Amino acid sequence: MDITRRQFVRLCGGTAAVVLPFGLTRCAVPRPAHELIEDVEWKKGLADAVLRATTSRGATFADVRVVRNLIQTIAADDQQIKGVPGEWHYGSSPEHVLEKVDIGFNVRVLKDGAWGFAASPVLSEDEAVAVAGLACDLAEKAARTVPEPIRLVPEPVHVDTWVTPHQEDPFAVPLDEKVALLLRINEEVRKNPQTDRAFSWLDFWDENKFYANLEGAEIQQRLVRSDGSFFARAHVDGVTAQRRFFVNPLNIGYEYIRGLDLPSHAERIAAEAVEKAQAPMISIDGQMDVVMDPQNLCLFEHETVGHPTELNRTVLVETNFAGTTFLAPEDMGSYEFGSPVMNFVADRSRPMLRSTCGYDDEGVKTQEWDVVREGKLVGFQTTREFATYVGEDQSRGCCMTESWDRVPQGRMPNVSLEPGGQDAPSPEELIADTRRGLLFSGFSSRIVQDYQRRYHTYTANAVWEIENGQKTRMLRGAHYYGQNPSELWHRLETVTNPASWEPAALDSDDIGQPTQRNHNTHGAPWARFRNLNVGGPAS
Amino acid sequence: MILTQEEVRAIFDTAFEAATADEVDLSMAWYHEVNREVVCGSTKVIRFSNSYIRDDTVVQPCHPLQVHVGFGNREGAAITNQLDPAGIRDAVARAEAIARAAAPNESHRPLHGPQEYPEIPGFDEATAALTDDERHEAVAGVIERLQADGLNGSGYFHVDDTLEAHANSAGAWFYRRATKTGYAVTVRSDDTTGRESSRIGSGWAAAGDLRRFADLDIPGITDVAIAKALGSVDPQPFEMGPHTVVLEPNAAASFIRLLMGVWSGSARTVGAWGAPSEAGTQVASEHLTLSTQPGHPQIMGSPYGPGGMPLGERVWVENGVLRNLPGGENGPAVHLVGDGGAKSLEDVIAGVDRGILMTQNWNTMLRTIDPPHVNGMTRNGLFRIEDGQLAGPLQNAWYSLRLDEFARNIEDVSRPCKTGSFGSSGLNGNLMPALRVANFNFYRPSEAV
């Protein structure tokens, strides 16, 4: 196979080359991967080689991703930099302060109507061509089981570069400074003598993704993520309680962390942890008005609207592990999901949100679309493979892969509850307008839900009573629950104004076999639900 | 190719030479980060759904290097999968930079020197050499059957060829190859989806963390899932409240995992940690005996324990009495074997006059530590037992109970079977018995399937 001079230069990254026996041409000195990953021309050359190889095998579609994930996690447990306990990352956690570099590429092909996928951490043309051939082999075998050929909806060809807008590279900020920040937060928390533990963390991601496909797309992206927060734990009269300061994780640079002034919130959070430990257990078991803040709503949104509207769940792709959904494709346009003030937008294009990028992991330009409009289900999360299941001729751009060694799959984008109009109340006005109710603040992962996302029980990081328009005392153990999401969302009565909308987000979202992490925002205003079922510890 | 001992030594030597820290601890091994498993080696996965293969993936060998360093008791860590000299040196430098910036770790423990590890073979040449054609053949028959019978099947079949290597600046060295395979399948009686699916049948079966592909009975596991799917069509409501329940080994494993955490004091809920139980205490009925056995022929697990200490056999619970607490010098409660005697699952069921058989469960979580209270729900097959026989499908249901009472209410056990969980709350690849438990409390029916 002939290669052009331009391709040759790309492959060699401009280094000297030698002519080897049998007419093969190779670079004299292999360049390290951390250099190659920054060389877009080299990556284009690699993609050319891969795509030629798949074309020669008869693939009808093929794409290649060259990925570097750089992750830095720093956590401080009181004055020690060490393990990460409890409710962090919505799951388990690394045991040490960590920096991780992960580099590799993958090739996905559609051949004979079936997918094949192969990946490697070795960045070289020879490896890339071999991996492309392997992906074709796998697709040919899978095709023997596919009843109908997989087809993709069309997408315009994009050649572009996209970078998360940011001012200060989080990885360029000295470690000393980050460690000092965490230790200072914890010191401030522990000034409250009734606290017995402070825990703080910072988490940064830098994803370098190059994507190309057989249709001609060539997309270089860099996603920068910054997150960090802390919690205070109090132990009073034998009761332990934890209160978290909720930061909305964003795609942004370190300037975000600087602007948060985290230590300035430590005194309040410590006091609230003590208040929580001293709070009485809820004695109510019945119906009550509930006000939720954006950070409490975000998990509720994630589980009751986000996962159920993943189209691949509705068509039983995730049955073996993550589960299914109470929705079916034919519900689009007819299912009454909630009250008329329930409006949900999905997007991957709103600035700074966690799922926001220029293009998804199969080259689809990111966008924004309605999922629920005035209480009615009007949209699903789709990929180029699944869009036709709901009669759409273009993907919504929800194909994602966490890293080079994970197969692309449909994943949840940002899915957010819209605020009311400019005349809608502020959060303060909403509370003032609530005669008797409960305020749920911040999410807690101690939820109860089934694998079809029907029954739900939620709690919060902190719950206050509202009496005659005033936030009064904290309560412990309060939950709200419903037989299905629709029952809960039909009780949504008021959402606050646009100024109160916040880009709340979970720390991560993990599904798949093998599991893949995902990042998404569930923005929300404050909201009041009428007559929700509330009660004591989860049931 | 998976790295040889010599190649690993060369990589480790490069790291040691680059390091300036007082202590250096290097690993290439499977690890777990934020709900994500990272394989050190190659992994091949076939994932099927709607009874056809939708993902066949091969990830070529990757050997992430984990570098842990210490300057005194200041520690840092970095991971890289780039094993050229520049990549290795970069990882060492990043780990050292973190260590220099870190506050002292007051619970820092010095590295252990060379240790003698038991020889536990875990590598099966035939499994490592399994071709892609052979992998496909392994599931093709299953898929043909599902399609022919109009069943909706979703499955996950993986074959890993892995490496585990460790070395530290105190002279420790460990290298071990292991193969790992497993299979899980969910079968639904038809492809109804959404809210209309609550009357269909669904069955699940799995086996995980086997060393030899020859031991993985994919057709047999699928038969079990199909039988449960067909047998659970049109599930019926049942009376909420306490019942005698037989938990199949995979369902039992979720509770055993939580119990081990409660007994060791490592269990936690939000903001709360439990206190460990005292050794010598009767913590369960006399039917329960649990031990760690890395060398068990159906386990063949790694003998490398935390901190580089050899991981040997250890009894945790003997006839219901807590003999040792997991953690610290005793090592972790891994490679678990439940000593269940000679009864089969059918024998255990035969001993129940009136009760319920639970196949799998979901969302089983510790809600409070003191008392240790759990709830969760059943999944993929719940059946009534009458006069020692299965007597029809039941609707899924939520349960709520105290773990300590659960352990004391164990009335019978079966011989142990290899479990599979693949991300759910069970124990993947351990040997667990089925348990017969009295007064198992159900409190809410569920239409979820």
Which chain A residues contact residue B186 at CB under 8 A? 319-320
Count of beta carbons in the 10 Å neighbourhood of residue B230: 15
pLDDT of A197 over the 60 cut: yes
Residue B180, CB-side half-sphere exposure with 13 Å CA sphere? 24
Asked if B449's CB is within 8 angstroms of A513's CB, the reply is no
**Confidence at residue A86, expressed as pLDDT on a 0 to 100 scale:** 30
User: Across residues B368-392, what is the average pLDDT?
Assistant: 92
Our CA-based measurement puts residue B341 at a distance from the nearest CA of chain A, in whole angstroms, of: 31
Are A117 and B55 an interchain contact pair (Cβ–Cβ within 8 Å)? yes
**pLDDT score recorded for residue A448:** 77
**pLDDT confidence band for A509 (50 / 70 / 90):** confident
- Which tokens hold the place of A124? 């070289």
Sorting pLDDT into bands at 50, 70 and 90, what band is B76? confident
pLDDT at B197 over 70: yes
For chain A, which residues make up each domain, given as ranges?
A: 5-278, 286-535
Cα A233 to Cα A272: distance, rounded to the nearest angstrom:
9
* pLDDT band, residue B426 (cuts 50/70/90): low
Please state, as a whole number, how many other Cβ atoms lie within 10 Å of the Cβ of residue B110: 12
Whether the pLDDT of residue A18 is over 50: the answer is no
CB contact under 8 A, B56 and A141: yes
Element (H, E) at A85: none
Which pLDDT value is given to residue A79?
84
Q: Is the pLDDT of residue A339 over 90?
A: yes
Tell me what the mean pLDDT of segment B198-214 comes to.
94
CB distance B197–A324 less than 8 Å? yes
Distance from CA of B286 to the nearest CA of A (A): 30
| Per-residue pLDDT reduced to its tens digit, B238-283 | 999 999 999 999 999 999 999 998 998 877 665 566 778 899 999 9
Amino acid in position A174: P
The distance of A357 to chain B (nearest Cα, Å) reads 23
User: Is the Cβ pair B57, A138 closer than 8 Å?
Assistant: yes
- What CATH fold (topology level) applies to the domain A5-278? PmbA/TldD fold (3.30.2290)
Q: Across chain B, what does the average pLDDT equal?
A: 92
**Residues with Cβ within 8 Å of residue A442, at least 6 apart in sequence:** A244, A246, A293, A295, A296, A460, A461, A462
For residue A82, the chain B residues in CB contact (below 8 A) are: 75, 105, 107
Mode of pairing for the β-strands spanning A527-535 and A286-292: antiparallel
Instruction: Read off the pLDDT band of A2 (50, 70, 90).
Output: very low
Per the CB < 8 A criterion, the answer to whether B399 and B442 are in contact is yes
The whole-number average pLDDT for the span A309-320 is 91
- ipTM of the predicted structure? 0.94
How far is A237 from chain B, CA to nearest CA, in Å? 14
Measured in angstroms, the CA of A446 and the nearest CA of chain B are apart by 7
What 8-state DSSP symbol labels residue A20? P
| Chain A residues whose beta carbon lies within 8 Å of the beta carbon of residue B159 | none
- Phi and psi for A7 in degrees, rounded to 5? -65, -40
Q: Which of A139, A145, A240 sits opposite B52 (nearest CB)?
A: A145
Asked if A517's CB is within 8 angstroms of B35's CB, the reply is: yes
pLDDT value at position A90? 28
Q: Which comes out higher in pLDDT, residue A146 or B420?
A: A146
Confidence at residue B427, expressed as pLDDT on a 0 to 100 scale: 73
Q: What is the DSSP string of A473-504?
A: EEEBS-EEEESSHHHHHTTEEEE--GGG-B--
Specify the pLDDT at position A12: 43
Helices vs strands, H then E, count in chain A: 11, 27
Measure in Å the smallest separation between the Cα of A308 and chain B Cα atoms: 10
**Of the candidates B243, B249, B205, which has an alpha carbon nearest to the alpha carbon of residue B340?**
B249
B63, B98, B158, best to mutate vs chain A, most A CBs in 10 Å: B98
pLDDT computed for residue B210 by the predictor? 95
Chain B residues touching A451 at Cβ < 8 A: 362-363, 379, 448
Task: With CB atoms and an 8 Å threshold, state whether A119 touches B76.
Answer: no
* Interface test with chain B among A110, A187, A319, by most B beta carbons within 10 Å: A319
Q: Would the CB atoms of A319 and B446 count as touching at under 8 Å?
A: no
Interface contact flag, B78 A79, Cβ < 8 Å: no
Q: Which residues of B touch A119 (CB under 8 A)?
A: 57-60
pLDDT digits (tens, 9 = 90+) for A378-410: 999 999 999 999 999 999 999 999 999 999 999
For the ranges A9-18, A218-227, A512-521, the lowest mean pLDDT is seen at A9-18
Please give the Cα distance from B8 to B222 (Å, whole number): 39
List of chain A residues whose C-beta atoms are within 8 Å of the C-beta of residue B51: 145
Three-class SS state of A264: helix
A145 vs B132: CB contact, 8 Å cut-off? no
Q: Is the pLDDT of residue A199 over 80?
A: yes
Taking contacts as CB-CB distances below 8 angstroms, the residues of chain B near A225 are none
CB contact under 8 A, A510 and B34: yes
Show residues of chain A in contact with B97, CB under 8 Å.
Answer: 175
Give the list of residues 6+ apart from residue B156 with CB closer than 8 angstroms, or none: A320, A321, A513, B45, B46, B47, B182, B183, B184, B185, B422
Q: Does residue A6 surpass a pLDDT of 50?
A: no
Of B308, B303, B311, B302, nearest to B330 (Cα)? Answer: B311
Mutating which of B7, B46, B73, B81 best tests the A interface, going by the most A Cβ atoms within 10 A?
B81
Span A268-301, pLDDT tens digits:
999 999 999 999 999 988 999 999 999 999 999 9
| Cβ <8 Å between B448 and A454 | yes
User: Could you tell me which chain A residue has the CA closest to the CA of B98?
Assistant: A175
**pLDDT score for A9:** 37
pLDDT tens column, A44-78: 999 999 999 999 999 999 999 999 999 988 888 88
- Which residue among B59, B78, B132 sits closest to A99, beta carbon to beta carbon? B78
With a pLDDT cut of 70, the percent of chain B lying above it is 96
Distance from the B400 Cα atom to the nearest Cα atom in chain A, whole angstroms: 7
Q: What per-residue confidence (pLDDT) applies to B77?
A: 86
Contacts across the A-B interface (CB distance below 8 Å): 288
Residue A26: the pLDDT is: 42
- Whether A106 shows a pLDDT value over 80: the answer reads yes
State how far the Cα of A273 lies from the Cα of A378, in Å rounded to an integer: 41
The answer to whether the CB atoms of B57 and A407 lie below 8 A apart is yes
B35 pLDDT more than 90: no
Nearest to B195 among A30, A326, A517 (CB): A326
